[in-house]
Structure 1
Amino acid sequence: MKTQIKGNYVIGDAEAVSALYDAGGFGRPRDSSLQLRFTEAAYLLSRNKIEIFKNGKETDFDSFIQFAAQQEEFFELKYIVYKDLKERGYYVQSSATDFRVYPRGSKPGKGSAKSFVFVRSERVPITLLELTALINEAQNVRKQFILAIVDEESDITYYDVKRADAVGSFEGEMPVPFLPEVKNKPSKAVLFKERIILADKEKADLLYKRSFFGKMMDEERLLLSLPEALYLAENNVLELFGMNGEKLSDEEFSKSASLIDSEFPRKYTIYKELKEKGFVPKTGFKFGTHFRVYRKVETLDKIPHSEFLLSVVPLEYEFKLPATSGAIRLANSVRKRMIYAADLGNKREYIEFERIKM
C-alpha cells in the first residue's frame, strides 16, 4: 500500500483507512485519507504493510527512520516503546503525551484509551513541574499516566505515576488526640547539638510507648527528632529550651533546626501534614529517604511494616532517572510504595511511582 510523506505525517488514501485504521487501529482518518505518525509508519514499513514515498521516490526502512529522527526529537526511543507495546498486543495511537494505549479488547474507534505513555531516556531528567503537568493532563481526562524509561541498552521500564492523594493514599484514620495526661502540663525538653532530650520519665513513656515518638535513651529519657519536637511543642506537649536554659519559641526552634538541617522547613511541613492525617512518620535514613511512614502503630510489641517511603523534594526538583529507578526498586523490594512530596505553598503534592509490567 503506497503512502506519501507530507510534513510531519505519512499519508495514505481511503484504502488505507479501511485496511489500517478500521482493521488495525493505525493512524487517524482525515478527509478520506489516513494520517500516520512517523512511529506508526516505521512500524508498518518494517512489516511490509506499506510503502513510503518521499518526493516521488520510495524510501527504505533505514532511510526513513533516519529522516524521521531528524524531524522528531527522540524518535528512536519512541519507536522502541511503540514497537514494544504493539508486540505486547496493545492498540497504540500517537498523541501529545507520546502515546495513547487502549486496553486489550478495545481499539481506536471502538473504545477509549486507558493510558497515556510518555517516553524518556534514562539520561534526561524530568522536573517535578513537568511531571505534575503531565499527570494533570492525564488525570483531567481520567487516564492512567505511564512513564516509559528507555535505558542504555534499549530496555524499557514502565512506571505508573500518579498523585498519591488521588487514589486514597492519605485517607488514613484521624489522629488519636493526645492523652489528657500528656497535655496536662508541657514538659521541658532540651535542644542539644542535633537531638532533643526529654527527661520526664512518665511523659517519655507515654510518648514512646503509646504514640511511637522518639527513642528511649535510657529508662528515664526520650530522644526526639527535630520534627517530632516541634510538632509536640506546637501541640502544647513540650516546652523547648536551649542548653543554656533559655526557653525557645516555636519560631526560634525552627530557625535553630534549619541551621542543623537545611531541609528542615520543607520536611517539617510534610511531617506535620502526615501526622494530622493520622500517619506515623519516622526516619527513612536506612532506605535513603526522608521518612518511612506507618498507617497506624497500636503497640511497640508488634510494630507493623511501614506502608511507604517518602522523600521530600523542593519545587525545582529534577528526577534523575537512574537514581529514581533505584529508589523505586528498593521500595518495591521491601514491599513499600515510593512517594515524593513537595510543598507548593498553597498545597502539598504527593507523587507515587510504581514499577509495572505492561
Structure 2
Amino acid sequence: MIGTLKGDRVALGKESIDELYNTLYYGRLKENELELALVEAAYLLDRDKISVEHEGKKLSFRDFFIIASQAQEYFELKYIVYRDLRERGYYVQPSVTDFRIYPRGGKPNVSPSKYFMHVVTERKPMPMQQLVSNLQAAVNVRKEMILAIVDEESDITYYGVKFNNLKGGMGELKVPSVPGAATFLEDRVVIWDTELSKFLHNNGFHGNMLDDKRLQLSLVESAYLLSTGRLEVLDSATGKPLEIGDFIEKASRIEELFEGKLKVYTDLRNRGLVVKTGFKFGSNFRVYEKVESAEKIPHSKFLVDSVGAGHVFQLQDMSRSIRLANSVRKEMVFAFEKNGEIQYFSLGRIKL
C-alpha cells in the first residue's frame, strides 16, 4: 500500500481501508481516502505495512522520520510512546491530547476510549496550571489522564493523574477549657501548661511532646490553633498575645510560603484529617485519615505538597517525590488554591 505525505498526514487509497482501518484501527476516513497521522504512518512504515511517497520520491523510514520531526514538535517522543503502547497490545488514536487509549479488549468504533495521554520530555518544565487544565479536560469527558514522560535514554515512565477529594475520620476538636499560654520562640511555639499540652496532643494529635509536661508546636499548627480560638500565643520579645495576622506576618518572615501552607493545613484539618510535617519524606505534610491514639499512630496514607498557582514542576523533582512516596506506600498529592478553595490532585506511577 502506497501513501502520499500531505503536510501532517499520510493519505492512502480506499484499498487500505479494510485492512488498516476496519481491522487494525489505524487512521481516520476522509471521503474515499484513509488519512494516517504522522506517528501512525511512521509505525506502519517501519513494519513494512506501507510505503510513503513525497514529491514523487519514495521515502525511507529515516527520511520520513526526519521530515515528520520537522513538521511536529516532539514527534520522536510521541513515536516512542505510540510504538510502546501498540506493542503492548493497546489500540491508540492520535488526538489533541496526544493520544486516546482504549482499554484492553476495547476497540475504536466499538467501545469508548479510557485514557487521555500527554507525552512530555523530562527536560521541559511543566506549569501546574497546564497539568490541571489537561486533567480537567479529561475529567470533563469521563476519561482518566496519563502522563508519559520520556527521559533522555528514551525510557518511558507512565503516571496516573487524578483529582483527589481527601477526607478523614476525625471528629472536631473542642476548644480546651484549661488555662495555658504558649510562647513564639525562634521558629516554633512551645506550650508550657502541662494540662493544655496533653489535651491538644492526646485529643487533636497536635505537636510533639518535648517531655511529659510541655508540647512543641510547628508554626503552621500554632497558627491554625490560634485562628480557631484554641490557643493563645505570646511574643517572646514583648510577652504580649499575638493576633492571627501578626502571627502570620512573623511566621512568613521565617518561612516564605507559610501562608499557602497554612491554607492547605487548615483545609486538611477541616476535612477531618491529621496533618504532621512531611520533612522526612521531602514534602510539606504527611497526612493520616484517622488516628485513634497518640501512642499508636498508624502509617500515614498521603504526602501533600502545597504549590502556588504559578508553580512550575521540574520533572526530575516531580519524579523524585513520586518515587519516594510510592516506595514508602504513600500517595503523592499536590494542593493548590483555585477560586478561594483548596483543590488536590494525585500523581502516581502506573503500569500499563
Instruction: Give TM-score scaled by structure 1 length.
Output: 0.96
Query: What's the CA shift string for 1:151-208, capped at 9, x where partnerless?
Result: 111110000011112xxxx1333x42224xx532563211011111111111111111
Cα gap change, 1:196 to 1:48, in 2 (>3 Å)? same
Alpha-carbon distance in structure 1 between the residues aligned to 2:41 and 2:179? 71
Alpha-carbon distance in structure 1 between the residues aligned to 2:225 and 2:16? 69
1:177 aligns with 2:172: yes
Structure 1: give runs of 5+ residues left out of the alignment. Answer: none
Match of 2:290 in 1: 296
Matches for 1:129-278 after TM superposition, within 5 Å: 129-165=129-165, 170-173=166-169, 175-179=170-174, 182-184=175-177, 187-243=180-236, 244-278=238-272
Percentage identity across aligned positions?
Answer: 45
**Matched residue type, 2:279:** F
**Matched residue type, 1:290:** N
CA deviation after TM superposition for structure 1 residue 82, in Å? 0.2
SS of aligned partner of 1:262:
coil
CA deviation after TM superposition for structure 1 residue 219, in Å? 2.1
Query: Which among 329, 338, 344 is matched to residue 344 of structure 1?
Result: 338
Alpha-carbon distance in structure 2 between the residues aligned to 1:51 and 1:35? 14
Alpha-carbon distance in structure 2 between the residues aligned to 1:195 and 1:186? 20
Alpha-carbon distance in structure 2 between the residues aligned to 1:195 and 1:256? 11
Query: What's the CA shift string for 1:196-249, capped at 9, x where partnerless?
Result: 111111111111122211011222211111111111112221111101211111
Alpha-carbon distance in structure 2 between the residues aligned to 1:269 and 1:16? 58
Query: What's the CA shift string for 1:277-298, capped at 9, x where partnerless?
Result: 0001100001110000011111
SS of aligned partner of 2:251:
helix
Instruction: Give TM-score scaled by structure 2 length.
Output: 0.97
Query: What's the CA shift string for 1:2-21, capped at 9, x where partnerless?
Result: 11111210011212221101
Match of 2:97 in 1: 97
SS of aligned partner of 2:135:
helix
Match of 2:273 in 1: 279
Q: Which has the larger displacement, 31-40 or 210-219? A: 210-219
Alpha-carbon distance in structure 2 between the residues aligned to 1:46 and 1:143? 31
Match of 1:314 in 2: 308
CA deviation after TM superposition for structure 1 residue 118, in Å? 0.7
Alpha-carbon distance in structure 1 between the residues aligned to 2:265 and 2:133? 25
SS of aligned partner of 1:247:
coil
CA deviation after TM superposition for structure 1 residue 260, in Å? 1.3
On the 8 A contact 1:190/1:242 being kept in 2, the answer is yes
**Matched residue type, 2:286:** R
Alpha-carbon distance in structure 1 between the residues aligned to 2:314 and 2:172? 40
Alpha-carbon distance in structure 1 between the residues aligned to 2:305 and 2:179? 31
Alpha-carbon distance in structure 1 between the residues aligned to 2:45 and 2:205? 62
On the 8 A contact 1:102/1:114 being kept in 2, the answer is yes
Alpha-carbon distance in structure 2 between the residues aligned to 1:307 and 1:38? 43
SS of aligned partner of 2:303:
strand
Matched residue pairs, number?
A: 351
Point out 4+ residue stretches in structure 1 off by more than 3 angstroms: none
Query: What's the CA shift string for 1:297-339, capped at 9, x where partnerless?
Result: 1112221000011111111111111111111010000000001
Alpha-carbon distance in structure 1 between the residues aligned to 2:229 and 2:176? 6
